[in-house]
Each structure stands twice: as C-alpha cells, then as structure tokens.
Structure 1
Amino acid sequence: MLSSLEVINLIFKDPAVLHSLSEFEDIGIPVEDALEITERVIQSGKYAGSLAYYVKTLITTRSGLSEYFVYSAETGQSAPEEIVRQLWLKKLMTTYGYPAEQLDIEVPVHFGTEIHPKAADIVVYTDRSKSTAKIIVECKQPDSAEGIEQLKSYMNSKGAPSAVWSNGADRITLYRSVKGNFDDTLPDLPKNGQSLQEVLEAPITIDDLRETFNFKRVIQDLEELVLADSGTDEFNEIFKLIFAKIWDEKSASKTKGKTTRFRKSVEPEKTYTAINTLFAEACEEWPGIFDDDQDIELAARHLQVCIGPLEKLRFMGSNLRIMDDAFEYLLPSEAKKKKGQFFTPRPVIEMCVRMLNPKSGEFVMDPACGSGGFLLHTMDWVFPAHTMEQREQRKSEYASRYLWGIDFEKRAAKTSRALMLIAGDGHTNIFGPDVNSIDPRTWYDNTSGQELIRGLKKHKKLVQAKIPAGDPLLDRDRAWEYFQHLNFDIVLANPPFAGEIKDSQTLAHYELAGPAIRRAKGKRQVKEERDVLFIERIIDMLKPGGRAAVVLPQGKFNNPSLSYIREWILNKARILGVVGLHQNTFKPHTGTKTSVLLLQKYTHSELAEHAALSKTIALKCPDIKNDLRQILAEVHGDDDIPTESIPGLVFDVFDAAFPEPFDPADYADESGEIRGREEMKSSSEQAAANVRAQIVEIEKALKTEAAGLQVAIASVKTAPDRVDQVKRLRDKHREKAAADKAKLKELGSEHLALVDILNRIRVDEARETNRGQAQLFFDTPDLISDYKTKWIANETLKALDYPVFMAVSERGGKDSSGNYTYIYKSVDDATKRDSLGHILVDQDLVNFELDKRDLENIAGIPASDLDIAEQFILFAKEQNLSFWTQP
C-alpha cells in the first residue's frame, strides 16, 4: 500500500502544468499529514478487482459520502482537484478559523430554469445556519481552462461577496466591488469574523509576502479580468506595476515596521493615487527606464482590479524563473520573430557561465542582453545572495561595477533592468533602449548611450584608446577611435539572428563586412547580416586573453560560403569549444539550429607568434595564378578540366565570393515572363551599349557646348555694353549643363545595373564548368588574393593544432512544440527541483544538482553525473586553461 505522500506525488507528477501544492504551506503541517488516503478494491465495472485510492473528506457531506476517489494506477485516472479541495477545507479551518459547521461541499448552484444544477466545490457561510454564503472556493485541476467567468457566475447565483479559484499553487480571489460587480480582486480571503473592508485595511509587511507564485498565471487572470479590454499596452502597464512594487519592497525593508504601501483601498481613486505615487518615486530612484513625468495609464477602476493579486507577492529576490516566464509571455512573439530576439533558455545560459567561470574581479559584458539572463546567472555564480542584506552587498560590491549590458530593443532593455532590480542589482550598467552595440556613434544620440560613454570613460581600464580629458560627448566623429576596442574580461551573448546592417559607414569599420563590400563594388546595396557583425564586435570588446561564449546559428559553423568568418575568428582567438544545441532549444519561437561558440582572444604575444608563423608559412604558398595558367593551357576544344586537377580551395574561394547563383526569376522581363539567360544576356548587352552610346553623346555635347560658350564669351568681351548678353549665355549653358549632368547620372546608374547583370550572368555561366570557374578565378585579382589569404590561414591552423572541446546536446529540455520536459526522481515519483525550487528540466547541458564547490573537485565526480558544462570544465582543467586552473 502506498503512503499518502506517494499517492500525492503520483497524482501531481505531471510538471507540464508547473503544479505544486504551495498554497498550503501555511496550514501548519505537511500536506500528506493533513489528508487520510486509503487503498481499497474497486467492486464493480470495467476495473472491478483493481486497486484505487480514496481520500477521506474532512467534513460531513450532504450526500453522505465519507471518501472520494483520487487515484488508480491501473486505470490511469486521477482527481487532483479532490486533493486540492480537501486541503482547502483544512486551510479554511486552520488558517482562516472557520469551524466545520460553517463549511459545505458540492453545493448546488442553479442558473434560472436549468434542470441539472452545477455544484460549487466549497461554500463558506457566515454562520452555522448556512443561510448566507460568504465565500465560494472553486478547486480545479492544474491545467483546467475553466476559471474566472465560471467563478463569477457562482458568486452571482449564491450571492457570495468573495470567492477564490485555486489549483493548489495558483489562485485568483474575487470580491463584489462597491458597484455591485463580481470582478474586483482581493489580496486574501477574509478570516472568520473579518469583513472585506478589514481585509483591505489590514497592514501587510515584507514578511507577509509570498516568494512562491506563478506570475504568468497571475497576468493571464488579470488579462481575463481587465487588461484585455483596458485599451492600454499590457506590457508597459504591468511593467509599471512591477517597477512600483519593487520600489515599495525596497523602501519598506528599510522602515521600522517593514509595512508595504503597494495596497488597494476601498476607493479605486485612492488606490490609483497610492500606486502612481510609488511609480513616480521608483522613476526618480531609477531614472532612464521610463520617460519623465510618465504616469500609470490604466484607468483607476482597472488598476483597482490588478492590485489585489499582486499585493502579497514578493518580487525582490524572488525566483527569477518565475519572472522570466512572465516577461517571455508578455513580449509579443511576432515582434521577437521579426527581430530574431528570443529569451535564452536558462540551461544554455548556466552552461555558458559555468564553462567560462567568471571571477569576482572580472568585467562582464552582454552586448545584446535582452532580459539580462547572462548577467543574472553570472551574478549568482560569482556572488550568491539569499537575503536582502546579501543582495545589497552584492549590488554595491560587485554587480554595479563589473556587470555591463546593452540592448537596443525598448522592451528587452526594460526587462533586463527590472530583473536586475529584482535580483538585487541597481542596474547601474544596463544601457538601453536605442543603444546599438554595433555602432558606437549611436551612443551619443540618447541619454542611456551617453551614460555608457561616461561609464566607460570612468572605468579607464575598459577602453583601449586614450580618451582626452574633457567631455567625450563632444567627439562623436571619434566614436570608433575611442570605443571600437574595449577591454572586457568576458563577453556572454545571444545576439539577434535576424536582420541586416546596410549602413556603409558602419560596415566600413568591420573586417567581416569586407567580402560584402567587395561584392557590392558600389553597384548594389551593401549589406551584411547582423549576427556576423556581432561576432567581430564581441571579439573587439574583449581584452587580450579575454574569453567569450556566443550563441550563433549553426550555418555560421558549417556553411562553405561563410568559411571566411571562421578563418577570421581563428586568426583572432583560440577556439575553446563548440556545443551544438538541440533543435528544440529555441522553440516555439524558432526551429533554427544553433551552437555555442567558446573562444579566448589571443594576447599580444600570441598574436605576434601567430603572425610570425603565418609569415613563414606564406613563403610556401603556391603561385595559384601560374598553376591555373598551366591547367587552362592544357585544355583543348570543348573539354572540361577534371575536378581533381583544380585545388579544392579554388572552389571554396569561388563559392565564398559568389554565394548566390542566379534565380530563374532573375531572367524575367518587366512583365514577369522568364526569357532565359541567353536572351537576358543579349538584351542586357544591347541595352548597355545603347546606354553607353547615350552617355558618350551627352559627354561629347557637353564639351562642344562648353567650347562654343568660350568662343561666344571671347567675341563679346571687347564690347562692355554687351555684359548682359554674356550673362544670359552663361546662365543658359549652366541650365543645359545641369540637365545633361542629371541625365548622365541617371544613365550611369542604369549602365551600372546592366553591367552588374552581365557580370552575374558571367559568373552564372562560369559555374557550369570547372574550366569556367578556373578562367574567372584566373581573371579576377581579388580571388587570387583571397586564395592566398585562405591558404595561409588554413596551413597556419594546421600548424597550431590545439585540441577543441566538441559536444552535441541530445536532450534539449523541450519537446517539438516548445514545451519544457522535466526530470522525475523515479518512474513513480514527483519532479526533481533544485535548491531554489526550480523544477529540473530534462536536458544535458548542465547538472544543476552540482554547485560551484562541487566543480572545484570535478575529477572526483562520477562521469555519469557530468553534463556538457561539467565535461568542458574537466577538459579545461586537463588543458590547463587558466580561468579554471588558477584561483
């Protein structure tokens, strides 16, 4: 026979609903001791003879039943809501002081002439006569879709002024407002003998606040009640309330009684005034997150409803996973898709932090910080804090100096600041919105960017360039000189996957944009993918010897046309490791395959050694132009060159220079009809010749007209009375010349476009044969130069020959729909949780049951307990990597 605890664990083991029985932590005894669960044999029906478990009811029921079914392993059925109901009965009697005689269950609820009435799970009456309902409790399964509307209908039918919906972990408490509606909220239920007004007026202290709650569920309930119809931006208004509440908790913790002010009053207008005042104080304490003089935009009647569920929640120091889930829910998924910005799963973040092992005196940067996950995990890794005092110490001694984050997107920047506040940091070095890591010139354009400039100037060791004394904001034109090369010890980032940078002035500062600039050659719009530029920016932000972990699309690692990116990285840094993430990692937002790149930037001495080695190897570089000349000379007639006769590197360089073959649609005319390559080539050649002829004719006419003007001017110089005639001649010529030059500019653009098409056709033709590619290669100096660079880089890397940690995640912690999958203690047991109460996700990136002290002696840990992060740590120690072998 199973114990009560074992039965409860079996019933609530499905973690897809993130369910627990945290609601009942205050009943004074463990939940399993509050219930009497017995085993007996089913007597009839399909499952006659099988075992089932029943819970004994805590009060006498009107039906006469003394126990209710809760679980059967053989049928696979369970009734979690019955466990929740019995525990609510216990809580009402112990915590709220209601005697059993004032409680009833399965109370019929009639709606007009409905024949089959529904039943309220629990009704609490004002006295033992059970004539007047005071509270209705509706108990649900964890994943029940039924909720607030059903509860309001029960309140209306029974006339109960208050009610609660609960699944054992989440709750929403409603009460009838002064206007008679059943859609207002309470922070708690009234105790026996307590009025609703007394509940609203009872003081709440910091110690009364709950640290375990499902914030996402709270937001969803508020959406159903008021937010969806409030006419405001849900994210901004919820964020304002979070902001005000964090400030209330911070300020209350420093008062003698620790009494909070984030409360609702009986009158909505008083509630609005109190909360908006807190919000204004928070904006003054932490400027730059909201615009000056901004108010809460929710109407007073809507704000009134929102405050009840939030009053007794504790945000400061709360479980950050709770807040993450809520913010990820609030941020519009469509906007995230378009910008390629996604919340990084916490196992990925923790893996990166553990691998790079940040130290207390190291400066850490996330140039695309989003919700601040990398910085938060770094803060917990370097400086754990479990009390308000420790959090304040962490803020003043570590986070405010060493943790830096930048984000361009407005909501992401707000989110990261809020989460840093919750964790105990003052967000001193979180910069954004509208601060672009890719281009330091943009830092001069707004307040937050200017704060970043001043902060970097203050911490002189973080900037490699010498910034003159005085106001650096006056030197915008020197932004790249000052801030291109920084000196951070560690960079952790998941930069945006999507988007392109098209600003030529920005791209000119990036070596990795060189191929794109060369391909454009002034004829087409130059552009480069944002994440490619982030790779270079991240390495530029590192000091010599600094290390980085970067999440990138897997194509950056295995696409042949992008090999120049990998070569550039290998010339700047040592690759420490590459971890292929599971394809479900970023679902449901994207199925893009991603990898984590771990690297350590070369020191100056290592770069010098690398350069010397490359110089020696360069002397052995083959003369590819001469080799191709000989290969081409040996081909006769229509014969093609055998593939094996051409060095494979030639094809790699060709593909990198011309990564995009012509699409059939490129051979379409203005009507969209596809005409074929030869027809397109012929028509383009003819059109180019015609345009060129027009250009020549206009240029010739301009010269002739200019010469004629000079002759005319010379002929009238001897007659001073004809000055006006000279002026008219000059004006007429200038007007005609301006029109001709405008026409030349238009024709020049047209000619360049046609030449571009012909060049692309030439490349397209060359692709069809080895001889075509070899001939084009031979005729193109840039390709010859690229070949030499690539050959030297490849041979240099072969000579270096250092080990690289390689791993692929086989358990990503999510299913194909993007839902988290979890770890169970055993087949028939509950989910596992870490020390902070997080349910452990079924993934192989990091073992959350091992802490920092365990990892110091990792050699003694069984191999079966080492996930990818721990395996890398073992690798790092074996390779004597300084950040894991030195204190």
Structure 2
Amino acid sequence: MTNNSRPKTTQIFSASDVKHGLSLFMDREIRTVEGLIIERDGKFYIKCQIKDKYKVAKPEEIVRQLWVYRLLNEYNYPKERIDVERVVYFGSRDSGLADVVVLQEDLSHPYIIFEVKRPQRTAGLEQLKSYCNAEGAPIGVWSNGNEMIRLHREEPNIFVEVPRIPKVTETLRDILTERWTLRWLEEHDELKQGKTTLKKILLDLEELVLGNAGVDPFEEIFKLIYAKLYDEWRGINAPSYKLEFFVGDRSTEQVKRAITNLLEGAKREWQGVFEPTDKIELRNDHLKVCVSFLEKIKLFNSNLRIIDEAFEYLIPQVSKKREGQFFTPRPVEDMIVEMLNPKADEFIIDPACGSAGFLLHSVMWVAGGMISGKPLPENARNFAQNKIYGIDFAKKAVKIAKAINLIVGDGKSHVYKDNSLAPHTWEDETKSGLRGRLLRFPNNPEKDRENQSKFLYFDFDVLMTNPPFAGTVKERDILRLYNLAERNGRWVNKIGRHILFLERSLQFTRPGGRMAIVLPQGLLNNTNAEYIRRFIIDEARILAVVGLHGNTFKPHTGTKTSVLFLQKYTDEEKEKIEQTRAKYEGEWEEFLRGLKEKYQNIAWNSSVDDEEIPEELNSFLENYFESREEIEELLEDVVESGETEETEEENRGRKPLAVLVQEKSELDDALREKEEELESANATRKAELKKEIKTLQSKINKLTKEISQRTLAGQISLVLSEERITEAFKKYWLDGKVMQEMDYPIFFAVNEKPVKDESGEYRYKKNPDGSFVLDEHGHPIIDHDLDEIAEAFIKFAKEQGFDFWRQ
C-alpha cells in the first residue's frame, strides 16, 4: 500500500508518457470521479458508472468516466441511455468498440458517440467519423480530456462542428437555431480557459477539408477571418446585433450567402487588402465545415496573438526556412515595446514587419491596454492612423499586417510590400507613403536632393524589427548602398541579409532615435564579427542586450538570438566623438612612428614574436585580414615535397599559400636570370629584357602583396606601407580611444524562462491543481520572465537619465 498523499488522479496523470489530460473538467467533477478510484495490490482501479464494474484506472478510462459523469449530471441523460464500449459493426466487415454512446430515446440507435481512447486528433477523428457513419449517429465527440471536437453528421462524410452538446431536454435543432450576440460569444469563447487554439482548429480543418479542397488554405482562411472580424466589429459597435458568422440549421447556400455578405462588408469598411473581385473560393460544403469550427471563437481579444499563431501555421514551412522569416512571439514584442516606450507623438517603423506585431503592440502601449475592436482613445487613434509604418517583402505577411493595421487604425494603414534593403526598387505607392518621413539635410542641399531621390535616410523616432535570419544578399546594386558590405576597400560578393538590416535600421532611425533589432547571437559574440560591432559603436550608443532563450523561435529554428537596443547618436554627439578623435591625432602619429621604427626592415617572411606586437595592432590584424598562416611550416612543406596537392582553399577559388610561395620563388629565379643576361646582352636584346624584367617584377610585387596578406609579418608590413590600410588602422586605433573615453554602462539580461517549450508550443502558467492561470479576459497566461527584464531595464534607464524614460 502506498502512502502517497497526492490525489490518485494526479499520480496517474503525472507519468511522462500520458497523452490524455483533465483540463476540460471542473474540480468538483474530478473530485467526484476520484471517489470512484480504489487502490489494490499497488494498482489503481476505477468503478464504471454504467456497468458497475472496476477497470484498471488508465488515464483514458478516467477521462471516459468523467464524460459519463458529465452526461449523467450536467446533461441529465438517464443511465439507461448511456453505454460504454458498445460494439459498432461496419457492415460485413469487422467491428469496433465505441468508447461512450448516448442512445436515442428508443434505447437502440446511437445519438451521440464519444471517442476518448485515441489521444491524437487525426486517428481519433477518423475513428469517430467511421463510427458515426456506420451507426447513422448525428453527433460525434472526440476528446482527450484537454481538448474537444463536437461534430454534427449532416450526411455521410459531411461533418460540421456544433457549438455545444445538447442536454436531454434539448434537440439538435435547438442547438443549431440559436442566435448569438457578441456578449454570448464572449462568455462561451472556446479560446478561453485554454480549451483550444486557433492553430489547433486549423489543424482540424486541414484534416477535414482544407487538405484536399484544391484552394490556397492561407487565402481562404484569411478571407474567413477577415469576415469574422467584421462580424465581431459590428457586434462591438451595436450590442443588440445578432452575429451572422455561424452555421446553425442553415443550408450550405445560406451559409455561403451570409459569409459572402460579411466579406463584402469588410472589404468596404477596411479597403486595401482584397481586390474588388476577390471572393470565397471554397466549395459550399467545405465552407460550411470551416465556419462551424470558427464560429465559437472570439478573434478580438487582448492582443490578437491568436491570429499570429494561425497565420504562422498557414504560411508554408518551406518558405519560412528559406527566408528565415519567423513570427516574433508576442511576449517578446511586449518586452521590446515596453523598454523603448514609444509615445503618441512619435513615428514608428518596422522595416521587416511580418504581421505587424511590433506596430500593433505600440498602439496597445499608447492606448494603455488591449485592442478590443472598440474605438481607441483619441491619442491612440491618431497614433494608429498616422504614426506607425511597416514594410515587408512577403506578400502574405503584408496582407495580414495590412488587415490588422486597417482594423486597428480605423480604416488607415501605412504598411507596404517592398524590400526595405533595396529602395531603388520600391513601388510608387511605397515611395509616396514614405516620402514625408525622409530625413532632410537643410545645410547640405546636394545630400538632401540625393536622399529625396534614393530614399536612404529617414526620420523615424523608434524602430523595432525582427529581420529575416536566413539567406544572403548578392546583388551588387544593393551591396553598394551599405558600408558593412565593404571590407578592406572592396565590396564583398555576398553578405547575410540580417547584417544589412542592422545598417538599414540605423538609416531609418533619426539622429537621437532609438531602435531594437533581433539578431543571431553570434553577431554580437563571434570574433569575425568585430567589424560589425565597431560599426555599431561608431553609429549609436548600445542601450541594452537581451539574450533570448533557444526555444523562442521553435519549432522553425533553434538559433540563439539576442535583442540589441541602440540609440543613434545626435549630430552633437557625433561632433563630440570627432573632437575626441582629433584630441588623439598627435598620439597616433607618435604611435605610428614607433611602429615604423620597430618594424623598419620587416618583410612577408620575417620572423616576428607575436607577444611583442602591440595589442591594438594585433587586434586590427585579426579583424582586417581574412586569415593568417605559419610561414615556417609552409616553407618546409615546399622544400620537402617540391610540389603541392590541391587543397580545400583551391576548391574555394584561393590558391594555398605554399603554392604562392613556390610561384614567387620560381619568378625570383627567373628575374635573376634575366638580370644576369642583361649585363652582357646587346642593345636590341637589352630592350626586350627590360620589358620582361618589368613584367616579372610586376608579377612578383603582386604575389608578394598576396602572400603578405596571409602571413603575420606580411600583414604588419602592409599596415605600415599601404596608405589605404594605414588609414583603416588609424580609424580603428582612434575608435578604441573614443570607446575608452565613452565607457558607458550597458544593460545586459538573459531570458531564462522560455516562452515556448522544446516542441515550439507556448508554456502557460499553471495553478497548483494543474489548471491554467487566466488573465482578466479568460485566456491562459504565458509563463516567462520577459516582463521582469523590461521592468529591470526601465529602472536602469531612469537611473541613467535616458530621455525616453526621463521622470
């Protein structure tokens, strides 16, 4: 006999392999069924309320008995109308056992069939539909104890969801003919208490109709959600309005007519998302199924996160991986908005806006609360209509962003479909919409005219973005717009898209403006990204770095990311930095003279003690040159073998250093032979030899430079002899002096409580009994520590006197 004092159900359901749950049931129901469980010989058994026999108390059996209890006590069906493990015959084929069956009043024919043994939706729904078809049952219910799907079998193989299970005193028609107001929908919203999610509903629809409907699931679900938002919006603005987005007892044609009317109303009210000719392409019977599943959820909730989850699911996985475009979890957006504290009179932009989460949360921040579909406070309404801007290159993401933006902004939107990195390719609509936000240069007419033409620099107060991580930019016309695409005086062949987004974000932000950008963590840590960090420090003050948990963007990617918060220097701060540089000019000249004296006879193959190299020079060499190789070992290889094999470097299009050294040695020998021949040659031959010697010398010089770039001594000689590289080192050295003088505190934090679990599902706060902790709107609260990080930063910002958090 065990002495475990925990409730028996808690012990049974705590095993890691349990797929069923209890969240659909109330505490009093669970306590009552708990009383049916006994322990015998170290095992738990539960008494069946119908057959009055004990069975092994497996999780699925407990869920079955909970449903039996509810049927008996809430729905008031008499015991004789309920059967368990009832045999279902499939014609001449084999039979199956239906878990729970509610019989018609004739006590012979099934009325409601329950499937609780199969916890996975796909297998459970298929089994349930086959039972309903075999027995002609009009209602089927699938449940694993955490979730529930109620299906009405209208005719063979056509199932729609019904809003609730009828009680013994109700007919199915009573359920189907109910009309709802928005208040009723709020009270019965199935997204409350964590009963389901929009994403799960879409999984069900994909299984039932979307998988083989022959339409673009994104486009059709988007139309339905747009129509439903309009239906709810009408209910918000007219409390007595009866919702039209429902199935009830209407025919497929009536449902199609009602939803088409809603979509047309939405298109008139919120123009600019659909073409006038766009219409619902779903077949009537498929449309009816979709509406039946969506009718009992309320989309206008505290932050519209559910819509994000739905569209993130609908956008094909392959494009997400290719483009590296992942929706930012709303708690991350909340944290960033709270830390940057956008004001009602400030202009905001997200140049990779996706579904416009940052923009939406900025509106919520200014409004002081949730977005419910009701008119916003005047300052927030003006902010939503005139101050928030978004750009994204993904058509579907822009469609979502535009729709939400139009609804929140009461019919106005500044969201554009274009590539933020390539302003020379922008559509006229984008240029027209953003022209008013171009930064002006009154003291530099030529730069001002150029900017009006090229759309490079903007006047936004706040920027928040999560740019695409994947992919590189190779187009020369784009690369030439960015300083970060230039390395060692020449344009790179390609560069990570997110790196250019960092510089582009600074271009969008006005002097003194602030920004936050989500970046791969390596960009802030890796040695080979030093030049990027130097660029950042040249352009802006680092306010904060927040490391996000590795689960943040799962299931799409486990890339570790950080949020970088910057405040762009004002013109006055830039001037102060230049003054600091000027102050150290003399010290630089002295430092350079010392280096030239120390290394006056250095050549690419000289022996150098790396411990004696000044720290600033060594750091610059590691940052400026691609790599460094040990010349002594390479020379030994050449001497010993006399030849070299093809290596990985050759495969990359770069000759191994040993090959270059060998080639130079052969050219040196050839040059010596020519010079010796020159001494005794006749006049005609001398002229030819001089040309040949000049050509050889040119080749040797070019090879010497190429070799020097890859040896320690050679790199030092180039720094001291090549004017361009000397200037780059000077800037690097002076940057170091500026950083020493600035030496300001930076806020660092790490997100230790992830918003998602390993599988990419949100983690919710739970009560001691295992139920979800709910917010004031009845929705489960995500469990994370990002709010605490934001609060800690705000305290830090006020202590530092940041102007956007000044008390």
TMscore range, shorter length: 0.7 to 0.9
Aligned to 2:563: 596
**Match for residue 742 of structure 2?**
800
Specify the alignment match of 2:182 in structure 1: 206
**8 Å Cα contact 1:684-1:758 kept in structure 2:** no
SS of 2:275's partner is: coil
| More off after superposition, 364-373 vs 632-641 | 632-641
Measured after TM superposition, the shift of residue 823 of structure 1 is: 4.7
Among residues 659, 662, 674, which one is paired with 1:678 in the alignment?
A: 659
Contact 2:303 2:361 in 1 (8 A): no
Counterparts of 1:229-244 in structure 2, within 5 Å, are 229-244=212-227
SS at match of 2:240: coil
Q: Which amino acid aligns with 1:241?
A: L
Question: Take 2:461 and 2:19, find their aligned partners in 1: how far apart are those partners?
Answer: 37
- CA shift for structure 1 position 221: 0.8
Distance 1:420 1:354 in 2: 20
Match of 2:374 among 344, 369, 389: 389
For 1:586, the equivalent position in structure 2 comes to 553
Deviation at 1:831? 4.7
Letter in 2 for 1:307: V
The aligned residue for residue 433 of structure 2 is: 452
| C-alpha distance in 2 between matches for 1:134 and 1:660 | 76
User: By how many angstroms is 1:758 displaced?
Assistant: 10
Task: Give yes or no for the alignment of 1:519 onto 2:507.
Answer: no
Give yes or no for the alignment of 1:554 onto 2:521: yes
Instruction: Tell me the secondary structure at the aligned position of residue 323 of structure 1.
Output: helix
Distance in 2 of aligned mates of 1:564 and 1:439: 23
Three-state SS of the structure 1 residue aligned to 2:515 is strand
405, 424, 440: which is aligned to 2:390?
Answer: 405
Deviating more after overlay: 298-307 vs 814-823: 814-823
1:845 aligns with 2:766: no
Query: Using a 3 Å threshold, how does the CA distance of structure 1 residues 354 and 184 change in structure 2: closer, same or farther?
Result: closer
Q: Distance in 1 between matches of 2:756 and 2:750?
A: 15
What SS does the corresponding residue of 2:123 show, helix, strand or coil?
coil
Paired residue secondary structure (2:599) = helix
Listed as ranges, the matches of 1:701-716 within 5 Å are: none
1:136, 1:566 → 2: CA distance?
Answer: 63
In structure 1, what is the equivalent of residue 804 of structure 2?
883
Q: Deviations over 1:103-154 (max 9, x none)?
A: 44443323346777412323242x2x31333322334676565321111111
Looking at structure 2, the residues matched to 43 and 16 of structure 1 have their Cα atoms a distance apart, in angstroms, of 21
Query: Aligned in 2, Cα 1:107/1:13: closer, same or farther, shift over 3 Å?
Result: same
1:680 Cα deviation after fit: 11
2:272 equivalent to 1:297: no
How many angstroms does 1:382 deviate by? 2.9
User: In structure 1, how many angstroms separate the alpha carbons of the residues matched to 2:9 and 2:461?
Assistant: 49
Larger mean Cα displacement after TM superposition, 308-317 or 284-293: 284-293
1:581-730 mapped onto 2 (5 Å cutoff): 581-622=548-589, 626-634=593-601, 639-659=606-626, 664-667=647-650, 678=659, 682=663
> Is the contact made by 1:108 and 1:120 (CA closer than 8 Å) also made in structure 2?
no
Is 2:528 the counterpart of 1:532? Answer: no
SS state at 1:204 partner: coil
Which SS does the other structure have where 2:731 is aligned?
Answer: helix
Distance 2:251 2:777 in 1: 38
How far is the alpha carbon of 1:786 from its aligned partner? 0.9
Given the alignment, which residue of 767, 771, 794 partners 1:873? 794
Is 1:108 aligned to residue 104 of structure 2? no
Q: Which residue of 2 aligns with 1:563?
A: 530
Match of 1:709 in 2: none
Residues 177 and 31 of structure 1: CA distance in aligned 2, closer, same or farther (over 3 Å): same
Partner of 1:378: 362
Q: Give the C-alpha shift of residue 874 in structure 1.
A: 2.4
Aligned pairs (5 A) from 1:29-40: 31-32=27-28, 36-39=32-35
**1:42-121 correspondence runs (5 A):** 42=38, 44-45=40-41, 47=42, 61=50, 63-65=51-53, 69=57, 79-93=62-76, 102-112=81-91, 117-121=96-100
Does the CA contact (< 8 Å) of 1:463 and 1:482 recur in 2?
no
| Aligned CA distance change for structure 1 residues 660 and 157 (closer, same or farther; 3 Å) | farther
Check the 8 A contact 1:140/1:165 in 2, yes or no. Answer: no
Give the letter aligned to residue 731 of structure 2: T
Offset, 1:273: 3.3
**1:350-376 deviation per Cα after TM superposition (whole angstroms, max 9, x unaligned):** 222222223333332222111222223
Q: 2:317 aligns with which of 306, 321, 333?
A: 333
Residue 252 to residue 549, structure 1, CA distance change in 2 (3 Å): same
Deviations 1:449-495 (A, max 9, x none): 25623xx53xxxx443289xxxxxxxx99565574332322211111
The aligned amino acid for 1:793 is D
Q: CA deviation at 1:506?
A: 3.5
Structure 2 Cα separation of the partners of residues 875 and 214 of structure 1 = 37
Match of 1:442 among 425, 445, 449: 425
Matched, 1:432 2:416: yes
Distance in structure 1 (CA, Å) of the matches to 2:628 and 2:71: 68
State the Cα deviation string for residues 818-865 of structure 1 (Å, max 9, x = none). Answer: 454555555x6445444455545554333xxxxxxxxxxxxxxxxxxx
Determine the structure 2 residue equivalent to 1:465. 440
Matched residue, 1:146: 123
Letter in 2 for 1:132: H
Match of 1:485 in 2: 457
Structure 1 runs not aligned, ≥5 long: 25-29, 72-76, 468-475, 690-754, 847-866
Report the equivalent of 2:688. none
Structure-1 separation of matches of 2:732 and 2:253: 70
Match of 1:725 in 2: none
Tell whether the 8 Å contact from 1:367 to 1:406 is kept in structure 2 after alignment: yes
- Report the Cα distance in structure 2 between the residues aligned to 1:9 and 1:884, rounded to whole angstroms: 47
Question: Match for 2:433: what amino acid?
Answer: L
Is the 1:319–1:836 Cα contact (8 Å) retained in structure 2? no
The separation in 2 between residues aligned to 1:496 and 1:756, in whole angstroms, is 45
Aligned to 1:226: 209
User: What amino acid maps onto 1:302 in structure 2?
Assistant: H
**Secondary structure in 1 matching 2:512:** strand
List aligned pairs for 1:268-347, cutoff 5 A.
Answer: 268-317=252-301, 320-347=304-331
Partner of 1:782: 724
Moved more, 277-286 or 404-413: 277-286
Residue 133 of structure 1 is matched in structure 2 by 110
Aligned partners of 1:675, 1:436: CA distance in 2, in Å? 39
Alpha-carbon offset, residue 636 of structure 1: 8.7
Cα distance in 1, alignment partners of residues 798 and 438 from structure 2:
31
Is contact 1:11-1:79 (8 Å) kept?
no
Q: Tell me the CA shift for residue 611 of structure 1.
A: 2.3
Counterpart Cα distance in 1 of 2:70 and 2:700: 79
2:195 paired with 1:215 = no
Distance 1:591 1:236 in 2: 29
- Cα gap change, 1:831/1:162 in structure 2, threshold over 3 Å: closer, same or farther? closer
Deviations 1:653-694 (A, max 9, x none): 344444378993442599x9x9985279859999xx9xxxxx
For 1:305, the aligned partner's letter is: V
User: In structure 2, what is the Cα distance between the partners aligned to 1:386 and 1:168?
Assistant: 32
Instruction: Give the letter aligned to residue 110 of structure 2.
Output: A
Alpha-carbon shift at residue 23 of structure 1 (Å): 6.0
Taking the aligned partners of 1:290 and 1:361, their CA distance within structure 2 comes to 30
User: 3-state DSSP class of the match of 1:174?
Assistant: strand
Question: Is the alpha carbon distance of 1:221 and 1:628 closer, same or farther for their aligned partners in structure 2, counting shifts above 3 Å?
Answer: same
TM-fit CA distance, 1:163: 1.8
- Looking at structure 2, the residues matched to 756 and 280 of structure 1 have their Cα atoms a distance apart, in angstroms, of 74
Partner of 1:507: 479
Contact 1:669/1:675 (<8 A) preserved: no
| Helix, strand or coil at the partner of 2:588 | coil
Say if 1:110 and 1:157, in contact at 8 Å, map to a contact too: yes
**1:131 alignment partner AA:** S
Distance 1:23 1:388, change over 3 A: farther
Equivalent residue number for residue 692 of structure 1? none
Rounded to whole Å, the distance in 2 between the matches of 1:10 and 1:837 is: 28
